[in-house]
Amino acid sequence: MLLWAADAAAQAPYFQGKTIRLIVGYPAGSAHDIWARIIAPHLTKQIPGNPATVVQIMPGAGSMTATNYIAGVTKPDGLTVGVINAELFFEQHLKREAVQFAWPTLR
């Protein structure tokens, strides 16, 4: 058991040398953008491996554009975080044509 624990401690953190993107579904300078820019440096400090963080602005349709991008284009590898509108949950249930994601499976 102790040998197994020693191997686990020797592994490099998953996020080491990687970049985490915070995709903001609102315009630059909005409260959501400011929030993401305040949080980004703290993610770098708190996540093992000290990954770089980048805030990417992707406004449109009340953050629908960003949400569809996150659900349809990005890989589910933990390197993309969405700052989106929680009301999009209802848009899915109203079966809006623009919704290209399933809320329970949104990563």
Helices (H) and strands (E) in the chain, counts: 4, 3
- Which pLDDT score is estimated for 94? 81
- Which pLDDT score is estimated for 9? 59
CATH class of residue range 22-105: alpha beta
Overall pTM > 0.85: no
* pLDDT, averaged in runs of 10, over the chain (107 residues): 54 92 96 96 95 96 92 92 88 80 65
- Which pLDDT score is estimated for 36? 97
Say if residue 18 is exposed, middle or buried (CB neighbours under 10 Å; 0-12, 13-18, 19+). middle
- Which pLDDT score is estimated for 104? 65
Element (H, E) at 73: none
Question: 60-73: buried (b, 16+ CB within 10 Å) or exposed (e) per residue?
Answer: eebbbbbbbbbbee
